[in-house]
Structure 1
Amino acid sequence: MTILLIFYQAVFSFAVLVLLPFFPLKRGRKMRQKLGLDLKEVGPFRNSIWVHALSVGEVMSAVPLIDVLNEQFPENDIVFSATTQQGIAVARKHVEGKVKAVIPMPMDFWWSIRRALLCVNPAVFVLVETDIWPGLLSAVRRKRIKCLLVNGRISPKTYAAYRKFSFVVRTMFGFFDSCLLQSDLDRERLLAVGVDRKKVKTTGNIKFDRPWVPMEEGEKTHWMKTLGIRKGDIVIVAGSTHQGEEVILLRTCRRIMKKYPEVHLVIAPRRIERAAEVFSIAQDEGFSPALKTSIASGAVDADVLILDTLGELGRIYGLAQISFVGGSLVPFGGHNLLEPASFGCPVLFGPHTENFVRMSEQIIRMEGGWRVQDGEQLEKAILQLLQDRDLCRSMGGRFFPVLWRWDTN
């Protein structure tokens, strides 16, 4: 494995050196951050706990972890990093006041990683869910820094890849002192590729450790006014949607709106840079859409609202009578079903929930939501809930036993 790491670092270093002249470092702030050149502005730290998350979903998973770390280890500095720009933006909104610094994760280039470790000076490195980088992990190991994987999950697609390269995977996970997994299924998948049994434990999904704040009437009124939603509107919120899903949702809701013109659709694409694309799709389908950033408070006459902002979907779910969670009608693996369900809202999702197997199974078992296979089933499900309001309300109420009695066994 040492030879593979040397080869990996050589290839990475060669690529960086070849491409570096094409990036103006004085003006290219993103490249400076990726190289770790700006770390001196936030450090150095002493005896820190370095927590890293890939993007938005992983950052939100880390919020309760940060709270516990602050409570249990007040003498340690906590440094938080994320890989994507969206992840950094969400981290600055949700954890910046709780940590010493929020930094972009440098690229897995030996010089950048060395610089990051010198600046952050961690006693412990904590990786949330995924985003495994060989150069970083090997450097952490060489410096004898404690290394933990928390809230780990192994999707079927990832598991298939791990089985093909089990030798590499065993070595990579060997860098961790402990691997704390969301479910026994995730644990069994790691054991199946030969990861040391003593390091792998099932501890549950830390998403359930977040404090679930109900929506008070004042907050609801604020959001309705801000988004131009009228009293009496039926709000359907489709969150974390992917390419291909918006067309299905729009065509489904167009037919539903003929029977229920008071329906108001809110779409939050998983990647906000797709908001303009979704806006055009909605126009092509005959709607009068609006982007959230383009509307004045209450001054909008749109039948479809597209969220092009970060960090707001989690609260806007609280307006919904019916919710749909994306990444599930297309083969992506789904997204967090807890956010809409925590507001007592029925949750609809497609067949592809490989990233949230236990969560989706629990919600179905407790009848807090339904799985639909396609647009036709989605339409039937929404119509059934609109026609039977008592069913709609009772389905939402059934979720809370799932939230508070989550079983990791």
Structure 2
Amino acid sequence: MWRLLYNTLLILATPIIVCILLAKKRCRRGLRDRLGLRIRPVLEPSGERRPLIWIHAVSLGEVVAVTPLVKELHRNHPDHRLIVSTVTETGREAVEQRLAGVAEHRYAPLDVPWAVSRAIAQWQPVLYVFVETELWPNLLWTLRDRQVPAVLVNGRLSSRSFARQHVFGLMSFYRSVLRSLTLCLMQSERDVQRIVALGADADRVCRTGNIKFDQPMPATAVDASLRAGLGVHEGESLILAGSTHTGEEEALVAAYRKIVTPHPNAVLMLAPRHIERVADVVTMIQTAGMTVQRRSRLDRAVTGPRVIVLDTRGELARAYCEAAVGFVGGTLVPVGGHNLLEPAVWGKPVLFGPYTDHCAEIAALLLEAGGGVRVSSADDLARQIGHWLTDETARRRAGEAARQMVLDNQGALKRSLDLIEGCFRDSRPSSPSAVGQSPQPVMARR
């Protein structure tokens, strides 16, 4: 019943969905592929097929998180082809940059029956892995029908989405979707409890931790060429605010205006979450009476108090290396927070706001370790940043605590891989009855 109702409503809504996607510049490319009008097969030059593993990561952040796992799957299964599907253009760029020679990129099909069926028929996956609870019912139902194991990795359920599913009384619908999954590998015990409450089979749910902790730890040496390329001069202290949203940029600029009087060598860099908003952010800074530069149009002769807007893709994570203090956006406004680990891995103290539902466990760990501070206003930002700029010892101590917290929480990647490999062994085509069964030897709760 749910399948029929879902598809009826989805087909009626498809014209609206297509219009919404066309209105978003970052989602336009690949729309033909997503609609199932053009599905590129994954073949050898000879036209032969190899077994294929399909990994789905929505956009840039998910691609970054899953990259180490994809590389390990490639190493463990050199006879398999791998594809990583995304929804956005930034996701495509990340796959092509980070996984060249390891996996091919494809755009994920929209969850309409014809697009899903064509994609699965063309790619013929033997395993499907998806990141952070991207539950697409038709895709999961069709994979189940074809006896293809589906594994949720790094799963999480925010308070908002969990509450919404309860409010609308969709428990039996979600149960029908979640029962299609072979494994649910969740970030925290809270996520385990929530997905079981929504209807997942408890025997197939396991807490493995957050694979974002298992990104390769970079060396923290200062890179003079990167620093100069970002427009930051010798002796200046960079305050880097990443993945920011409307409302946060205004608070950060207001805080910066208070900071530059006692700290005239401080420079603020804003990296909007959505790059298409850059022009609006620049206008806002100019209206506030501050000198502003765009990273793509730097005049390196400009010195003194100023705001640099990072309007290029793929530089944010590396740019935190040159920061004195890092702020992570989506936390001062009710978005839920972005990747708090990006500054932490570089040994930088981390600031974030009260809205951290998407990264609650990491926020709590940073606070407990002394590597992060929660702020709620421009005044809080100015006070804490000013403290760290004044007291270099306190700033260094907080940064070291943030980096150590990351090191102390690694291991989710290996736990996830062990469980995925167990599922893989149980999904051989010669034994279809084993598909979907839990790999009991490695399913003990962690």
Contact map agreement 2:338 2:359 (CA 8 A) in 1 = yes
**Deviation per residue, 1:273-324 (Å, 9 max, x gap):** 111111111111111211112226x455571111112211000000000110
Offset, 1:20: 8.2
1:183 to 146, 163, 188: 188
- Equivalent residue for 2:9, pick from 8, 11, 23: 11
Determine the structure 1 residue equivalent to 2:286: 283
Following superposition, the deviation at residue 126 of structure 1 comes to 0.5
The structural deviation recorded for 1:41 is 6.2
Kindly indicate whether the alpha-carbon contact (under 8 Å) linking 2:179 and 2:199 is maintained by their aligned counterparts in 1: no
Matched, 1:140 2:143: yes
Q: Following the alignment from structure 2 to structure 1, what is the Cα–Cα distance between the partners of residues 96 and 353?
A: 31
Residue number in structure 1 paired with 2:387: 384
Where does residue 367 of structure 2 map in the other structure?
364
1:263 aligned residue: 266
**Structure 2 residue 93 is the aligned partner of structure 1 residue 89:** yes
Matched residue, 2:174: 169
Q: Name the amino acid aligned to 2:156.
A: R
8 A contact 2:294–2:311 mirrored in 1? yes
**Equivalences for residues 17-28 of structure 1 within 5 A:** none
Query: One-letter code of the match for 1:75?
Result: D
**Aligned pairs (5 A) from 1:126-275:** 126-164=129-167, 165-217=170-222, 220-275=223-278
Distance 1:345 1:139, change over 3 A: same
Hey, what's the Cα distance between the residues in 2 that align with 1:95 and 1:342?
21
C-alpha distance in 2, partners of 1:88/1:18? 24
Cα contact 1:48–1:124 (8 A) shared by 2: yes
Which of 323, 328, 339 is the equivalent residue of 1:325?
A: 328
| Pair 1:319–1:20, CA change in 2 (3 A) | closer
How far did residue 189 of structure 1 move?
A: 1.3
What CA distance in whole angstroms lies between the structure 1 residues aligned with 2:353 and 2:17?
41
Indicate yes or no: 2:41 matched with 1:37: no
- Alpha carbons 2:231, 2:295 under 8 Å: kept: no
Letter in 2 for 1:123: V
The separation in 1 between residues aligned to 2:211 and 2:139, in whole angstroms, is 24
Change (3 A) 1:207 1:6: same
- How many equivalent residue pairs? 399
2:326 touches 2:349 (CA, 8 Å); kept in 1? yes
Structure 1 residue identity aligned to 2:36: G
- Equivalent in the alignment of 2:436: none
Alignment CA distance shift 1:187-1:87 (3 Å): same
Task: Give the distance between the partners of 2:347 and 2:68, measured in 1 at CA.
Answer: 21
* More off after superposition, 223-232 vs 11-20: 11-20
> CA separation in 2, counterparts of 1:179 and 1:41?
28
Partner of 2:76: 72
Unaligned runs of 5+ in 2: 23-27, 413-445
Q: Classify the secondary structure of the residue corresponding to 2:332.
A: coil
What CA deviation, in whole Å up to 9, does each residue of 1:54-74 have, x standing for no partner?
112111111111111112111
1:98 counterpart SS class: coil
Between the aligned partners of 2:100 and 2:35, the Cα distance in structure 1 is: 22
TM-score (norm 1): 0.92
**What is the root-mean-square deviation of aligned Cα atoms in Å?**
2.2
Aligned AA for 1:354? Answer: D
- Does the CA contact (< 8 Å) of 1:90 and 1:310 recur in 2? no
Q: Report the 3-state secondary structure (helix = DSSP H, G, I; strand = E; otherwise coil) of the residue aligned with 1:204.
A: coil
Of the structure 1 ranges 246-255 and 367-376, higher mean CA displacement relative to structure 2 is found in 367-376
C-alpha separation between the residues in 2 aligned to 1:282 and 1:172?
46
Q: Provide the secondary structure at the position in 2 that maps to 1:175.
A: coil
Once structures 1 and 2 are overlaid, which stretch shifts more, 241-250 or 380-389? Answer: 380-389
Check 1:185–1:105 CA distance in 2 against 1; reply closer, same or farther (3 A cut).
Answer: same
Cα drift, residue 176 of structure 1: 0.5
Q: Is 1:400 aligned with 2:423? A: no
Query: Any idea what the Cα deviations from partners look like across 1:337-377, whole Å, max 9, x if unmatched?
Result: 11101111110111111111111111111101111122211
Corresponding letter in the other structure for 2:7: Q
In structure 1, list runs of 5 or more residues that go unmatched: none
> Residue deviations 1:246-280, cap 9 Å, x none?
00000110111122111111111111111111111
> How has the CA–CA distance of structure 1 residues 139 and 257 changed in structure 2, closer, same or farther, with 3 Å as cutoff?
same
* Structure 1 residues 29 and 205: alpha-carbon distance in aligned structure 2, compared to 1, 3 A threshold: closer
Counterpart residue type for residue 32 of structure 2 = R
The alignment-based identity, stated in percent, is 35
* Alpha-carbon distance between aligned partners in 1 of 2:3 and 2:384, rounded to the nearest angstrom: 51
CA contact (8 A) 1:96 1:102 kept: no
In structure 2, C-alpha distance between the alignment counterparts of 1:114 and 1:41, rounded to whole Å:
13
Letter in 2 for 1:8: Y
For structure 1, which segment, 248-257 or 396-405, has the greater mean C-alpha deviation from structure 2 after superposition? 396-405
Instruction: Give the structure-2-normalised TM-score.
Output: 0.85
Contact 1:82/1:105 (<8 A) preserved: yes
The secondary structure found in structure 1 opposite 2:40 is helix
**In structure 1, which of residues 331, 355, 358 is the aligned counterpart of residue 358 of structure 2?**
355
- What SS does the aligned partner of 2:370 have? coil
**Residue 331 of structure 2 aligns to a residue in which SS?**
coil
Give the AA of the match of 2:219.
P
**CA distance in 2: counterparts of 1:266 and 1:121, whole angstroms:** 45
Give the drift of 1:196. Answer: 1.3
Q: Give 1:226 shift.
A: 1.0
Please say if 1:316 is aligned against 2:314.
no
Mapped partners of 1:320, 1:361: distance in 2 = 22
